[in-house]
Amino acid sequence: MLNVGKIEEGFVLDHIPAGKSMSIYYHLGLDKLDCTVAIIKNAKSDKLGKKDIVKVECDINTLDLDVLAVICHTITVNVIKDGEIIEKKELVLPETLTNVMKCKNPRCITSIEQELPHIFYLADPVKEVYRCKYCDEKNSGI
């Protein structure tokens, strides 16, 4: 088993379905941050068989984790401060998502006016369906 050291402050995202870690990396904007990020792919898991883990060493107020719920709401989010877990965050589907996913409807106004933000609203919390604010097209995943 690969060993990655403890972090002092930041997040440990556990129980990520195998293969989803890179999607999380980009959607959280980790590629744009100047901080230490560890991505572990296909780690053994009793619960999932295989899982991914992402560790981010950063100020805990810098990341907006809303998008995680959309990728997979069963991800475990451990908030770390002074090397200890201070909170296990529960993921809740956000009411709106801005510029997280793109509307793919060729008839939508966002297809011709590039400067418009792509805004989706939570249309069905049970089925986890988001729809485009402008054209009501269902999102096809992120």
Minimal distance, residue 129 CB to other proteins, in Å: 8
Interface with other proteins, residue 86, by CB under 8 A = no
User: With CB under 8 A as the contact rule, which of the stretches 41-49, 67-75, 76-84, 103-111 interacts with other proteins?
Assistant: 103-111
**Distance of alpha carbon 118 from alpha carbon 133, whole angstroms:** 8
Does residue 134 interact with other proteins by CB under 8 A? yes
Q: How far is C-alpha 67 from the geometric centre of its chain's CA atoms?
A: 4
Both tokens of residue 128? 């986890």
Q: Which is nearer to other proteins, 5 or 106 (CB)?
A: 106
Give the C-alpha separation, 44 to 120, whole Å: 35
Q: How far apart are CA 95 and CA 123, in angstroms?
A: 9
CB of 141 vs other proteins, minimal distance in Å: 16
109 near other proteins, rule: CB under 8 A? yes
- Edge-to-edge strand ranges of the sheet holding 119-124: 96-98, 119-124, 129-132
Q: Does 112 bind other proteins (CB under 8 A)?
A: yes
Stretch that binds other proteins, among 12-20, 50-58, 63-71, 107-115 (CB under 8 A): 107-115
Tell me how crowded residue 123 is: count the other CB atoms within 10 A of its CB: 14
Residues that bind other proteins (CB under 8 A): 105, 107-113, 115-116, 132-138
